[in-house]
Amino acid sequence: MVLSSQPLYEVTEEGEWNYSFITKHGIIYHAYFIDFSVYHPNFSDVYTFNIEPETDTPHPIDNGIACTVVHILKLFFKVKKRAMIMVCDNMDGKEEKRRLLFSKWFLKHNDGNIIKYDAAAVTDDYQLYVSIYLNRDNLERDALVSAFYDLVKNNFYPID
């Protein structure tokens, strides 16, 4: 992610890897990371990332959200061996919009230090768009990417 990016909104650290911010429209967002190590033996420093508004109230497009999220991700990726999995599920029918939005943010704000691999998992009940993000110089890159695709093939059920 771009190293010079600054959050547009003030970020409050609510707990370890748990953040919140308030947009100019008064919408409170929670951004947090969840340990994903139980899903694959190679995922010792892999987390999922979630960002959610506190309410389901419709809200206008706000480019400041992207800058703030990029800032939070920059903090996360300061540790080179970390990886992040982003899951865009279909619980509300907006998985494709989320996938496109995060891909747009990645293309706009990435300075080349972070790489991403995409996949989709489809069953009778759901469609997931998933991506793994990691530092280009992550020494575990090949093992992490392989584990990611193993997990996709297993429809995101944990692998022992």
- What does each of the 160 residues of the chain score in pLDDT, given as a tens digit? 443 455 689 999 999 999 999 999 999 999 999 999 999 999 999 999 999 999 988 878 888 998 999 999 999 999 889 999 998 866 666 667 777 878 888 888 889 999 999 998 877 777 788 999 999 999 999 999 999 999 999 888 888 7
Is the distance from CB of 112 to CB of 136 less than 8 angstroms? yes
> 132: which DSSP letter?
E
Half-sphere exposure of 115 (CA within 13 A, CB side): 12
Count of positions (residues) in the chain: 160
Query: How far is the C-alpha of 16 from the C-alpha of 14, rounded, in Å?
Result: 7
Q: What does R_g of the chain's alpha carbons equal in angstroms?
A: 16
Whole-model pTM: value is 0.86
Query: How far is the C-alpha of 1 from the C-alpha of 47, rounded, in Å?
Result: 17
